Chains A and B, each alone.
Chain A
């Protein structure tokens, strides 16, 4: 059972890692002017909710399986994702807004955020991996 939870988290985590990489690549494409802001933002906005769901999923899994430490580790990130989604002003086209993304260093802060998330997910990945192996051995 425990092993199954971690395998699921591991898969989820992999997806999140890929998503972070995708965000980074797309944002840096925008930075280098390979794609325009409109295309970039519509691409990224599509994945904001899946990312949020994925993050919440692993948080819930940890809560359900009562791994408190990992749950607490996941919680702030999930909260941030939800907060970010909710605070989008009504007139904006999503978390990534093509008319704003070049202003006030938003591009940079999005980039920074994606980088931090990548690091965080990598860390989680190894924690899950370790926990999974531990769980498998214990079984």
Chain B
């Protein structure tokens, strides 16, 4: 059907419906994939020991130096693996007993995979561990291959101490290439340690990427040596987070390498093999908010000292001799594993020998008691070989490092502090000087070290109550807040034939399982005793046999597996992006099209994907226009389908085209698109049919659909009517129409979800567009929603800037396709309700057609059975997705929390931010299913309940007034702030769409971002000092204290920065110091500051540098770029600044003090 209808862009031909109803090729729609993915569990076969010839499927066999080549090889290889290699062998798998002890499986190297290597001699290990940057964009897969290659050159460990240097140098060249391939520059490896997500993009220095490979080889060749190296690095990385090691101890920088924090992270990255480095990151990320040890913490450097190398060699040799088996595993790259804990630097005095015995005896009770470890460990493990021991070491070390580790050792004190009763009516200064941290769960230090980062996985109660009764008594919600696909700086990536999982509940092995003995482990979620597969007995890092507890899976709470074909229903699909653009008159008026096209053009090469990436475009007004971009055409052809009642696809193969092949045509189209519709007079919008067309177009592959809509859909299926009554905007009675008006969008979203299509919605509308209905298309297909009220390219420059910045991030951020996430929890706990954008496919399985690094999820839990028989409760979130490079991956996060039976312990562990966010989610649900006023009452009742529960159960003081535990002292402020949010406020004029959008944001924003939106951070800038400042790279980032959000804290002679998450306000008082205005804003005095200033000029003054450093630092903590507005005291913009002063009285809402009084009244009722 394609030929006849094609015309050039300028002459469009309409297709009539009747001739070809479905275009003849409506893709078979079914829920198929859904079903198939239903279980992430691989067939039993995968459990078996690997067949002998099975090569390492996932590891490419090549050691090709050329960057370009690496990726190609990879794909070729993978295809090969899936189709030819693996399947035949699968049968073999089944026959091999699981706990086959015979070493044979380890002889794995298949000639095939190693064929490319010159001396394919030594033995590949069964599993590779790559610590690599988590971005898939890097050609990570290339690296492993090269390791293999490298290995060949190395004599068995111990023999080649002399070669090490050589190897080190050699390796980088081989491996570097891939690392610095196309992806690398874009997605820098490590930027700034504490920056959570976005910072990754762009900060990276190329040296880092190259260095990574460099280190790896080292490790392989001389494993022990490498431990030395990497371990220090990782150690340091950890320290900042835990405030742990004092810089001075680490300080002896040997190489003069990282003397700044930044470098130090680089180091850790270099040591990328270190498995624990992730742990390090985790903690370090925490460190952003804590006072970071001054930049001095020079981490690494240890590895260069000859003495250590020597030691490494010796130990490695001993390893070899002691355990012959491991030799076959030479190829493992493992890294230095272990420990994320800050062990003392002076390893020299520790005995190297321990590792050599291969841990023949398991440490009993891996997690229990420090005591048992304490005795055995300190003496050994110098080189970080035995991570396990490292964990046990903390105690001795702790005492040594007491100063730095104060935070850890002081747990009881913290708890006491958290429980200190606070009388809210008397204490006025409740805010901590620095933004709140997640409370640390009261776990033994070694568990705490490996626990999941609070930014990724957070529980409202960091001490889980034993029974539902106790939970009810506490009157706090129990739930998890997850940010599973967050951009991470470092992530251990594991390529292994066997992904070890519990046989009954399918939990992935994690740091919190118990090893009963060498051959068996006990699942921490269902308590089933499982066998340790043979393959798992080998520790790739130490190359020792019999150390399952030191494998990276068991050392890191966050790991990523490269999944085998057992985890896929169909071969990984290419990344596919379809852009659906509104080109009606309204859209042309708003003028977004040009900016969209410019932005896409700029970022075309940065779209995540590989050589198979496909793109397509579709525009609509009252008809739908397709674009034929088939390679070979001289210019794009537009195909118009005017039949919107029965949409069909005019051509099947040429509408979604390979980006690489048709890049010129795509650019052509993007250039001409804005002009093509500039004369459009069509005011109707057929959004529904356009979405149906998009669905049909994308069904075969799945992918991402980005919809840009500027008005209410008025034609075809899914047409909507305006439901908003502008006079009711400020009504305090109740808000109607928060739910969808039709189920069309929901049904379509579920269809999309079934075909693995995620729909992201950009709504740029100045009028009511019924976001409540339209947003369903994204809500249930795991998309994201962006809303730009009153968008206009001339009249509203602030929105335009935000749109451009968001778009850039949106187009270039990581993406995972065909994802499912399963959340498992310890027996006795169950998931009650899910919050976020996804479709819940079964009781614990979320279907995510697309997963992006910026969306978060929340779940509410209930306690069904008493947890009395265990002292720990664990939660595991496993996200299975296809990366944009076409790799199937599983990211696993495990969180471990103590179970308590005392109410006071529950309160001590309460996480006020998480509680607030979960309550916000619950309130949104409530306002949709019931009513807004119900939801508001419920929030107030949450405060009342907490205070009365605390009063009657815990607090012994017969104090009058409102007494809450210190851990929850900010709860009333946060709830009050919630009540004043757009989503939940009443009485203040709020457009329905803005309200609904705010509700969507509550459901999907990660906790930190949400908290900044609810309760912005306020700092005073004009009198900042360098006291307590962070020193990063060469910049000094001042750390001003947080101020309460009340006008009384703001004075006219100051300048204040308010961080609202998506926007910064810099409020300049009338009498502000002129020096500040001159040095920071670049104007001579207050009067000359323009009213709409929205950037901070780069001036050479110290103050300007400090302010910009602070802004950049705050910016690094979030994904989307925030805009800054300078607000003068006398402008009308002042109101937007002061509306965030949540503790003050506003026209329709009470002040904090009034709120407390209201709570008190409610209590006395």
Contacts and interface: CB of A to CB of B under 8 A. Distances in A.
A99 B832 CA distance: 14
A107 B740 CA distance: 22
A68 B1121 CA distance: 70
A30 to B, nearest CB: 7
A39 B35 CA distance: 10
Nearest to A94: B743
A90 interface: yes
Interface in B827-861: 832-834, 839-843, 845
A93 B31 contact: no
A38 interface: yes
B843 A38 contact: no
B993 to A, nearest CB: 16
B754 interface: yes
B31 A36 contact: yes
Contacts of B842: 30, 33, 36-37, 102
A31 interface: yes
B840 A103 contact: yes
A114 B236 CA distance: 59
A90 B38 contact: no
Interface string A6-38: 000000000000000000000000110100111
Contacts of A99: 746, 750, 780, 839-840
Given A99-B750, A102-B834, A90 B843 contact: no
Contacts of B925: 103-104
Nearest to B834: A103
A139 B412 CA distance: 84
Contacts, number: 68
Contacts of B1052: none
Nearest to A31: B843
B776 A36 contact: no
Contacts of A105: 832-833
A88 to B, nearest CB: 10
A39 B750 contact: no
B180 to A, nearest CB: 44
B139 to A, nearest CB: 36
A72 B931 CA distance: 33
Nearest to B753: A38
Interface string B34-57: 110011000000000000000000
Interface in A89-119: 89-93, 98-99, 101-105, 107
A123 B780 CA distance: 41
Given A102-B834, A104-B833, A91 B773 contact: yes
Contacts of B742: 90-91
A91 B740 contact: yes
Interface string B734-747: 00000111110011
A36 B841 contact: yes
Interface in B117-176: none
Q: How large is the interface on A (under 10, 10 to 19, 20 to 34, 35 or more residues)?
A: 20 to 34
Question: Chain B contact residues (Cβ within 8 angstroms of A): what range?
Answer: 20 to 34
Best-surrounded residue of B31, B776, B841, B842 (most CB of chain A within 10 A): B842
Question: Which of A33, A38, A105 neighbours the largest number of chain B CB atoms within 10 Å of its CB?
Answer: A38
Given A30-B842, A103-B840, A38 B741 contact: no
Contacts of A103: 832-834, 840, 925
Nearest to B31: A38
Nearest to A33: B842
Contacts of B740: 89-91
A10 to B, nearest CB: 37
A33 B741 contact: no
A104 B833 CA distance: 5
A39 B38 CA distance: 13
B832 A38 contact: no
Contacts of A90: 739-743
A38 B840 CA distance: 10
B922 to A, nearest CB: 9
Given A91-B746, A99-B750, A37 B31 contact: no
A29 to B, nearest CB: 10
Contacts of A102: 834, 840, 842-843
A89 B772 CA distance: 13
B882 to A, nearest CB: 20
Contacts of A31: 843
Interface in A32-68: 33, 36-39
Contact of B31 (A33, A39, A92): A39
Contact of A93 (B34, B741, B747): B747
Nearest to B780: A99
Contact of A37 (B39, B743, B747, B841): B841
Contacts of A33: 38-39, 842-843, 845
Contacts of A93: 743, 746-747
A15 B1030 CA distance: 74
B3 to A, nearest CB: 38
A37 B834 CA distance: 14
A118 B834 CA distance: 30
Contacts of A98: 750, 839
A91 B741 contact: yes
A90 B721 CA distance: 13
Nearest to A105: B832
Contacts of A38: 31, 34, 750, 754, 839, 841
A101 B750 CA distance: 14
B234 to A, nearest CB: 39
A89 B834 CA distance: 19
Interface in B32-81: 34-35, 38-39
A37 B31 CA distance: 11
B735 to A, nearest CB: 15
A118 to B, nearest CB: 22
Contacts of A39: 31
B616 to A, nearest CB: 26
Nearest to B842: A33
Contacts of B843: 31, 33, 102, 107
B459 to A, nearest CB: 19
A92 B743 contact: yes
Nearest to B847: A36
B964 to A, nearest CB: 28
Interface in B763-808: 773, 776, 780
A32 B624 CA distance: 43
Contacts of B39: 33
A30 B38 CA distance: 12
Contacts of B834: 102-103
B35 A89 contact: no
A39 B832 CA distance: 21
Nearest to A92: B743
A27 B503 CA distance: 26
A102 B746 CA distance: 16
A4 to B, nearest CB: 42
Contacts of B845: 33
B1044 to A, nearest CB: 36
A59 to B, nearest CB: 29
A101 B832 CA distance: 11
Nearest to B926: A104
Contact of A36 (B38, B739, B773): B38
Contacts of B832: 103-105
A102 B34 CA distance: 16
Q: Most B CB atoms within 10 A — which of A30, A31, A90, A91?
A: A91
When A and B form their complex, which 3 residue pairs have the shortest distance between CB atoms, in order from nearest?
Answer: A91-B740, A102-B840, A33-B842
29 contacts: A30-B842, A33-B39, A36-B35, A36-B38, A36-B841, A36-B842, A37-B839, A38-B31, A38-B34, A89-B739, A89-B740, A89-B929, A90-B742, A91-B739, A91-B742, A91-B746, A91-B773, A91-B776, A92-B743, A99-B750, A101-B840, A102-B840, A103-B832, A103-B834, A103-B840, A104-B832, A104-B833, A105-B832, A105-B833
Interface of A: 30-31, 33, 36-39, 89-93, 98-99, 101-105, 107
Given A33-B843, A36-B841, A90-B743, 4 more contacts: A91-B746, A102-B843, A103-B840, A104-B833
